[in-house]
Structure 1
Amino acid sequence: MDLGLNGLRAILVGANGGIGRAVAHVLAAEGCNVAVCGRSQDKVDKVLAEIADTSVTTYGEALDVTQADTVPAFVEKAAEALGGCDIFISFTSANKGEDSDEGWDAVMQADVLPMRRGIAAARPHLAKSANASIVCLSSTGAVEEFMGVQPYNALKAAVMNYASSLAQALAAENIRVNCFTPGPVMTDDGPWKYIQGAMPDFYNATLEKMPSGRFTTGEELAKAIAFVVSPTCKAMTGANIVVDNGYTKRTQF
């Protein structure tokens, strides 16, 4: 199936590794021009080198997303380099794993606010697109108990609400907004790879809860995201798409 992504322009914040890197690969393979940023210039350069053989237009830079002006500035430079923006996704995330002021602030500064700032900056460019799409990233930690009291889980639930409200607000501008809620995702440079080595008991206990006996791969999630942001899926907006290999057990109304 031709998803219709060829020639579209995607701005991906925090895509120098993990799920974001996988999405950059899949979109570029579909002919989508891609801009990426992240904390490490080496990692940004690596992603750009990995997708170079697709011959799409690329742009990348390293930045600290916790600084209020960096993400909007990146969006403007990326839109100029790509000639506009059709797709915007922010992947940045942080989790101190503690219910403290510092824990809440860390998630807000590294996860929620960069997403909000990036969407606001991208909106004028998306409004000019015939295939405008935003994806917000939540987590199954937002829908079922996971690791106790976690600011990360609570604020990921807020992301779902934000995406739903945004979808209604931007529909008149023909900008689609959908939320993805992944379960544990395995990438070669993501948190679950680290957990597998550093916390094997926790890793194995989580794996035992997967009815399929395996985690979702980064590529699998990336392909689902690519379909939803593509013109092929143009009627979907305001949806919360759970991609978790059956990890959550709730009925998904």
Structure 2
Amino acid sequence: MELGLNGKRFLVTGGTRGIGRAVVEGLLAEGAAVAFCARTADAVETAQSDLASAGTALGTPVDVADTAAVAAWVAGAAEALGGIDGLVANVSALAIPNNPDNWRSSFDVDLMGTVGLVEAALPHLLASGAGSIVTISSVSGREIDFAAGPYGTVKAAIIHYTQGLAGQLAGRGVRANTVSPGNTYFPGGVWSSIEENDPELFATALGLNPTGRMATPQEVANAVVFLSSSAASFITGTNLLVDGALTRGVQF
């Protein structure tokens, strides 16, 4: 299947590791140019070096909770790439325990980081004529699980926000979709840490998935890349679960 991504220009937040890194790699493999960001300068520098031979990948240290910094990054990326055709809002504070600090960081990073990115990029997406927005939520935004509280509540809000965008922008040439991953395992990630520090929780989570395993970042990224492409040109306003049948409820 031809995805039609060759020569397209994308923004990806949280692009140095895990799902974000796999999304950057997937877009580059399809011939897109990518500007990515992450909060840690050293991680951005390492990723930039690793990706140098894969295509045009421009890395910048950015804290997505800083709305002004996000707007400046988007403007610089649009100038460097000659425009923006799509974005992937991937950053999360991963603030799960129910306390005031986690509510605030979830709101500032997960939700407002997404809103700030979309608002800064929207004029460029409209100019593209075929713009794409993909936000990353979670199965925890759809079901009540161990991450109910700040994380799950804000992830649910991201789905609602994105579907609202889809309705508002459908007649203006911009699509908006959400990908909701199930538990995703990669070295150095949250589930790798839980496996080491809370093996009982890890075993419980693993046992809930009928596949007997967790997703890989690449499996989630495949869905993101497809929804970002012209092959998905009539798909907007959807929330795509990538969870190996982890969730049990029927999604209408």
What are the equivalent positions in structure 2 for 1:17-28 lying under 5 Å apart?
Answer: 17-28=17-28
Separation in 2, partners of 1:149, 1:248: 14
- 3-state SS, counterpart of residue 69 of structure 1: helix
CA deviation vs aligned residue, 1:165-209 (integer Å, no higher than 9, x gap): 110111121000001111101122321122121221111110011
Number of the residue aligned with 1:188 = 187
The AA in structure 2 aligned to 1:21 is R
For the aligned residue pairs, the C-alpha RMSD in angstroms reads 1.3
Calculate percent identity across the aligned residue pairs: 37
CA deviation vs aligned residue, 1:52-94 (integer Å, no higher than 9, x gap): 222x222111122222211111111111111111111111111
Separation in 2, partners of 1:99, 1:197: 22
Number of the residue aligned with 1:14 = 14
What are the equivalent positions in structure 2 for 1:104-115 lying under 5 Å apart?
Answer: 104-115=103-114
Number of the residue aligned with 1:35 = 35
Number of the residue aligned with 1:45 = 45
Q: Which runs of 5+ in 2 are unaligned?
A: none
Distance 1:242 1:15, change over 3 A: same
Asked if the contact 1:178/1:237 (under 8 Å) is kept, the reply is yes
For the pair 1:135 / 2:134, whether they are aligned, the reply is: yes
Asked if the contact 2:135/2:158 (under 8 Å) is kept, the reply is yes
Q: Which runs of 5+ in 1 are unaligned?
A: none
- 3-state SS, counterpart of residue 127 of structure 2: coil
1:148 Cα deviation from its structure 2 partner: 5.9
Number of the residue aligned with 1:219 = 218
Q: TM-score, normalised by structure 1?
A: 0.95
What are the equivalent positions in structure 2 for 1:70-89 lying under 5 Å apart?
Answer: 70-89=69-88
Tell me how many residue pairs correspond in the alignment: 252
1:134 Cα deviation from its structure 2 partner: 0.1
Separation in 2, partners of 1:76, 1:141: 32
What are the equivalent positions in structure 2 for 1:128-207 lying under 5 Å apart?
Answer: 128-147=127-146, 149-207=148-206
Larger deviation, residues 214-223 vs 89-98: 89-98
The AA in structure 2 aligned to 1:25 is E
Q: TM-score, normalised by structure 2?
A: 0.96
